[in-house]
């Protein structure tokens, strides 16, 4: 089936869905009668292009084509995925589904971004109820991976599996809820916290800013990487969850919350909360707040990625999917032509790789070149298994030249050539480019060592042969400009 996604409704959520699909290589069609839809989605895409590529350590696929359509039937025809993100009005959604099904491919998945309606409610009166599922994401859709995939008994297993596979392929985590309930799972949890927060403000216990600080400086950070139950398991100490439940279970009977009692939603309460929120965040525009949010999310999620934990584990899995099948997933013997410099890294600049000057910070160039060296080691056979067996390469000397600058979200590629590959010695020269621009070069001299003695040693015969094959081919190339250059030497 085609990799075409149609987004019906281009608001905040619809725009996020468009960015998620588009930046993962899908062609995206937008249907939204709002005359400002193209501008609004364009602004969301600008933020997504700045943020999303920085979550992956492998370049995203080539961006798909984005088109806007005035005719719904034209927009959905031939699409494999149709995402409904219209306002939360059940009759409106059902009307839109009828119009979609009159023109779409019968094999297409129709997902609804609804935060509250059950799939059986959405399916009522549909031409084919099994085609409609709930796919409820979280904002920003292009960064946060979870999406609640809620189905009814009328959804065929094949369609549900295909929906889950599609969501996974674009880096999301489909949380499949097989039993439907109003507001699904995540929003029910959020609603409980929201109701309690309204009472705390109304009763003048805390301001909106103080409540936000309690979350973001405390349990919010814990929740980001362990969720609720795993956090409380740790709170139980060595005895675990059973001890925690026994210790704090009686508190469930204490009047700690007003969750069963909702404050009257008066204009006075709205004004109180709105005024406090303006005082807290009114100095920033919505786009500025979105960029601050995105920068913080990327930084936290990349920290989790380094530990292969929580959302970071999902990002590492997505990197693996992006890497497989590309030149970055091959071994040296699988690269037919080694007569030219070899692509060893292709990725975008993450948000947390930029400095106070707004471009990629100095030590990140070394990190990028080190990753390219690691990839080249894999190519010749010095991979994780080989290192575990007791052999590796250590870098003895490095020289980096900074020629141009890169900014957040910029895509760059590193090409590597071997200047020397003989015995224990490996001399590599990396060129970092963004399109036709030469950004930097890295020259690195490495020695093969025994991890047992921590002394130089000969590599395996297989590695020696692979390295010499590439070194011989690269010896026919002219010496790259800057190779062997000493620090401070005039150009």
User: In this structure, what DSSP letter does residue 217 have?
Assistant: I
Q: Show the tokens assigned to 237.
A: 């100490």
DSSP per residue, 362-397: HHHHHHHHHHHHHHHHHHTT-SHHHHHTTEEEEEEE
Beta-carbon contacts of residue 319 (< 8 Å; ≥ 6 apart): 56, 57, 58
Q: Cα dihedral angle (129, 130, 131, 132), rounded to 10 degrees?
A: 60
DSSP string, 431-468: EEEETTEEEEEEEEEEEEEETTTTEE----HHHHHHHH
Q: Does the annotation flag 10 for ligand binding?
A: yes
Q: Does the annotation place 488 within a ligand binding site?
A: no
Confirm or deny that 9 is annotated as ligand binding. yes
Residue in the block written with tokens 């970055």 = 328
* Separation of alpha carbons 152 and 144, rounded Å: 25
14 is in an annotated binding site: yes
Would you state the structure tokens that stand for residue 380, as one six-digit string? 């010749």
Q: 12: annotated binding-site residue?
A: yes
* Geometric angle at alpha carbon 346, from 345 and 350, rounded to 5°: 105
- CA nearest neighbour of 188 among 228, 151, 221, 153: 228
Binding residues for NAD(+): 9-14
**Binding-site residue set:** 9-14
């Amino acid at each position: 089936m085609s990799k075409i996604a149609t987004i019906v409704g281009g608001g905040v959520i619809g725009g996020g869905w468009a960015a998620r699909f588009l930046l993962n290589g899908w062609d995206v069609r937008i249907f939204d009668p709002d005359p400002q839809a193209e501008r609004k989605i364009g602004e969301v895409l600008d933020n997504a292009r700045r943020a999303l590529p920085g979550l992956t350590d492998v370049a995203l696929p080539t961006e798909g084509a984005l088109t806007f359509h005035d005719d719904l039937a034209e927009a959905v025809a031939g699409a494999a995925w149709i995402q409904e993100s219209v306002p939360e009005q059940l009759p409106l959604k059902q009307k839109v589904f009828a119009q979609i099904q009159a023109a779409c491919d019968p094999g297409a998945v129709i997902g609804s971004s609804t935060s509250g309606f059950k799939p059986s409610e959405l399916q009522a009166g549909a031409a084919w109820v099994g085609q409609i599922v709930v796919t409820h994401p979280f904002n920003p859709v292009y960064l946060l991976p979870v999406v609640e995939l809620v189905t009814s008994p009328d959804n065929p297993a094949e369609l549900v599996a295909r929906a889950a596979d599609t969501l996974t392929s674009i880096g999301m985590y489909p949380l499949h809820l097989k039993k439907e309930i109003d507001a699904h799972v995540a929003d029910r949890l959020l609603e409980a916290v929201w109701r309690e927060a309204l009472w705390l403000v109304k009763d003048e216990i805390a301001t909106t800013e103080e409540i936000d600080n309690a979350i973001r400086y405390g349990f919010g950070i814990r929740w980001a990487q362990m969720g609720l139950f795993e956090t409380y398991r740790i709170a139980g100490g060595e005895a675990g969850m059973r001890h925690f439940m026994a210790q704090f279970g009686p508190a469930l009977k204490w009047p700690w919350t007003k969750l069963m009692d909702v404050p009257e939603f008066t204009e006075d309460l709205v004004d109180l909360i709105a005024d406090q929120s303006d005082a807290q965040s009114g100095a920033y525009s919505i786009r500025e707040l979105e960029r601050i949010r995105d920068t913080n999310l990327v930084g936290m999620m990349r920290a989790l990625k380094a530990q292969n934990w929580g959302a970071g584990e999902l990002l590492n899995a997505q990197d693996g999917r992006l890497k497989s099948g590309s030149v970055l997933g091959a071994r040296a013997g699988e690269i037919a032509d080694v007569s030219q410099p070899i692509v060893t890294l292709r990725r975008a600049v993450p948000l947390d790789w930029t400095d106070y000057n707004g471009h990629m910070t100095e030590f990140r160039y070394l990190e990028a070149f080190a990753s390219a060296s690691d990839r080249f080691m894999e190519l010749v056979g010095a991979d994780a298994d080989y290192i575990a067996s007791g052999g590796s390469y250590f870098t003895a000397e490095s020289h980096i030249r900074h020629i141009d600058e890169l900014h957040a979200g910029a895509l760059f590629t590193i090409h590597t050539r071997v200047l020397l590959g003989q015995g224990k010695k490996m001399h590599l020269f990396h060129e970092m480019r963004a399109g036709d621009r030469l950004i930097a070069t890295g020259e690195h001299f490495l020695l093969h060592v025994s991890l047992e003695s921590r002394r130089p040693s000969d590599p395996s015969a297989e590695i020696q042969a692979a390295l010499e094959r590439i070194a011989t081919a690269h010896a026919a190339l002219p010496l790259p400009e800057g190779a062997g250059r000493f620090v401070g030497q005039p150009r």
